[in-house]
Structure 1
């Protein structure tokens, strides 16, 4: 397998109804690759949305062997300029209207480097993805061609993707989960419905119905919203597969969506991954979900999971909690925080310490319990912020979206749509649960929790507002 475009692969552009498949799709991708090959040497930055031109740009770069960093088109212009100065890409495709940085010229909607100070990327490097969304000072995850292709194939095998499937672009392409949906369908000769409006928009669901989409991918926030909107798969007869990754969804909602899909002959898959693994590492088979509720599944084909204990030793012994370690051909080459690192080879050796905490059961099913670094302190007592969020949601009916951030010697929890009295009740419940004073849990109402383009909670925005 050397190409992302399998036999029978097709792109369906929802806004225009245009379908690219077979020789026509291959020709369009080759034309895009030829245009990119004519640009100055070096890595490319591409600000792409979920539109046909963006998809073709990505595929053209991949098929032409041109290393490309996929960036959020909503990235602040000043942050983008600083990012460009740090990495000196050959070009910024789809550049904003702001003036080009020093050493670049604006041409045909792009910034093209006019100097010779770019770094030639390592020949194995194929895709770069930023780790911190649209805020902060992102570093790039360096993914090889082998990593991207092997993960696409493994996901397709785990989900049973075939030529008759059609997946909509429910997630941004610069987000690893969204990109993997594209990759895993095209590599198996299936279809991708290019729909830019987003999963919570009416136009998206109209396109799902009109074109007969067969699957849907979402992060926990999306499923919380679908739950609020009383999602009913009977309204979309072609839609028979749901996949969830990007964080831990409430166990009761996993069960609810499984039951809802099972009632119409469909499937619900829970998945676990990180950008650093191109991105997915584990899948919970739909038929095992009821008996393994709360699990993220077993390692993808070709991968292996273990747990690193406090003493540094790794184990697959059941029920031992530690840092989750993944091994597989889809592990990144390493990070790039400077331009020089774009030329580095593989620095990981196929081994990824995920920074997540969890354990394996007797059958090797993974249970993720939190993050090593998602820790706050309440009067000197360490508390896991992920656990606090889950506990807060369990204490009061109607609170479904909670975001916890550290704030000195207390924790602030933002509860979406909650009133003042309900916030006080949550604070008291957390205090009783952890045997600490309620003043250590500052629960605040918020109209809408801020999100990254991926649908994940933007904790940085909340922390800056404290």
Structure 2
């Protein structure tokens, strides 16, 4: 069975959600059997996901029963959902029961607040080892999907379990959305380890979030930089949370100030802060900074996760695995996904990546073998011969000022959006100093807010 769920103690609690409903490992196994009776064939299904027991049971049942899910947010924009449905033709949907009328399809089965509905569409043919589909990280209206194999998901779960030393006593606070690759990684790695997942769909500004964190006795909390920015403002680092052992971060680069705050908090309280790096194309996690290096390697993503290997390909095309170097970071491991899909015919494709992922990230490797992400290969401008990394400029601004920041531009103008109107001139002067651009080639704009998705990533077409 998926993640060997049937080999866990059946009476052990596997997950609890906001409603305080819980399921045991035995319940997960029984539900997968019931799901198989209702849907006994391999086909394509869309899971409109929420961080709830019903949503998770649909996911674990699909993976256990050989059904291929595309996991989307239950709040996916109608136009995007309609485009994906018409393109990929799922035979079934697993949706929140209170959304049945909105979708308008025939109900086949209902349980735990979720309903299986039949669309009447004829699904495409599916590659035998295709297990899961996820939208590409940062997609905004794109039909481009990442194709995962069963081994990709299992390898990620095994690697993350080893990386954090997860045991059945762990209680993971799952605040990242289930349709986000890191959110699924939290669920899979802890279920693989026989631990308990605390599925939280509440905002961090909601009392229910804090109630679950404390009363649920969470031992590990995973967030993205945006999560920790909010937690910091809510004085998280001063709170008494006796059960919490590990805080771990992924999903993009933190400001150096926030990174140090997390590292210092962990050192001061006897906890661990573990920064990680990953992509949807690598089944979420690919690198981590060992906790003992958190205070001395600020901003580093560390080393390859257990079972993986990192390298750098420099501008000349030379690939190296050790020593100081800068260039595109490459990852090798069993968690590297099969490839992309942009049309239904692609769902019959096999393993195109063969365990090697060219990340598209520019990284620096120091003399100790630790990696630092500098920026994306595609997020660079070249203004009068100067190569300007947009990620790097955002990092500089957010590290120096209390503001959110998003950069874009053309090959003659760098546009910097900030959310603090009082610092426009100071931001401009700092960027001139750091980039050596002329003032006339930089525009600093004030915006009320920078729209971000549930994973904290900027939605570029909504700025």
TM-score (normalised: structure 1): 0.91
* Deviation of the 1:407 alpha carbon: 4.8
Establish whether residue 27 from structure 1 lines up as the match of residue 30 from structure 2: yes
CA distance in 2, matches of 1:182, 1:438: 48
Pick aligned residue for 1:125 from 121, 124, 130:
130
CA distance in 2, matches of 1:119, 1:213: 41
* Deviation of the 1:279 alpha carbon: 1.4
Match of 1:223 in 2: 228
Give runs of aligned pairs for residues 1-400 of structure 1, distance below 5 A.
Answer: 3=3, 5=5, 7-8=8-9, 10-37=13-40, 41-94=42-95, 105-107=105-107, 112-116=118-122, 118-133=123-138, 135-232=140-237, 234-378=239-383, 381-396=386-401, 398-399=402-403
CA distance in 2, matches of 1:207, 1:447: 31
* Closer/same/farther in 2, CA of residues 307 and 76 from structure 1, 3 Å limit: same
3-state SS in 1 of match to 2:346? helix
* Closer/same/farther in 2, CA of residues 408 and 80 from structure 1, 3 Å limit: farther
* Closer/same/farther in 2, CA of residues 306 and 414 from structure 1, 3 Å limit: same
* Closer/same/farther in 2, CA of residues 205 and 450 from structure 1, 3 Å limit: same
Return 142-151 or 21-30, whichever deviates more.
Answer: 21-30
CA distance in 1, matches of 2:410, 2:362: 22
CA distance in 2, matches of 1:311, 1:34: 56
TM-score (normalised: structure 2): 0.91
* Closer/same/farther in 2, CA of residues 360 and 77 from structure 1, 3 Å limit: same
Match of 2:415 in 1: 412
Cα deviation per residue 1:230-281 (whole Å; 9 max; x = unaligned)? 2136422111210100001112221211111222221100001100011111
Q: 1:33, 1:63 within 8 Å by CA — same for their partners in 2? A: no
* Deviation of the 1:134 alpha carbon: 6.5
Match of 1:453 in 2: 454
* Deviation of the 1:295 alpha carbon: 1.4
Corresponding pairs, count: 452
CA distance in 1, matches of 2:399, 2:289: 24
* Deviation of the 1:3 alpha carbon: 2.3
CA distance in 1, matches of 2:461, 2:266: 35
CA distance in 1, matches of 2:101, 2:437: 51
* Deviation of the 1:369 alpha carbon: 1.0
CA distance in 1, matches of 2:260, 2:283: 27
* Deviation of the 1:4 alpha carbon: 5.0
* Deviation of the 1:97 alpha carbon: 6.1
Q: 2:224, 2:249 within 8 Å by CA — same for their partners in 1? A: yes
Cα deviation per residue 1:102-152 (whole Å; 9 max; x = unaligned)? xx9543655534354x22211111111101556221311001000100110
CA distance in 2, matches of 1:134, 1:348: 20
3-state SS in 2 of match to 1:151? helix
Return 118-127 or 26-35, whichever deviates more.
Answer: 26-35
